[in-house]
Structure 1
Amino acid sequence: MKWDGISEFVYVAEYESFTQAAKKLSISTAQVSRQVSALEQRLNIKLLYRTTRKVSLTEEGQVFYQHCRAVLDGLDAAEQAVSNLQSKPQGIIKLTAPVTYGERQLLPLVNDFMVHYSDIEVTAFLSNQKIDLVEGGYDLAIRIGKLSDSTMMAKKLSSRTNFVCASPSYIEKYGIPHSLTELAQHNCLLGTLDYWHFKETGKERNIRVTGTVHYNSGYSLVDAALKGLGIVQLPDYYVQKHLENGGLVSILDNYREPEEEIWAVYPQNRHLSPKIRLLVDYLTQRLSKP
Structure 2
Amino acid sequence: MAVETVFLNGEFVKRSDAKVDIEDRGYQFGDGIYEVIRVYSGEVFTMDEHMERLYQSADKMKLKIPFDLQELSSIVCKLIEKNDVEEGIVYMQVSRGISPRQHHFPGGDISGSVIAYTKDFKRPSKQMNEGVTATLVEDIRWLRCDIKSLNLLGNILAKEEAASKGHFEAIQHRGETVTEGSSSNVFIVKDGSIYTHPATNLILNGITRRVIKDIAAKSGVPFVEKTFTVDELLAAEEMFIASTTSEVMPVIKVDEVNIGQGVPGPVTVKLQEMFTGRILTECKVQQV
| TM-score, normalization by structure 2 | 0.26
Q: Greater share of helix residues, 1 or 2?
A: 1
Q: Greater share of strand residues, 1 or 2?
A: 2
| TM-score, normalization by structure 1 | 0.26
Structure showing greater relative contact order (alpha-carbon pairs closer than 8 Å, 6 or more residues apart): 1
Q: Which one has a bigger Cα radius of gyration?
A: 1
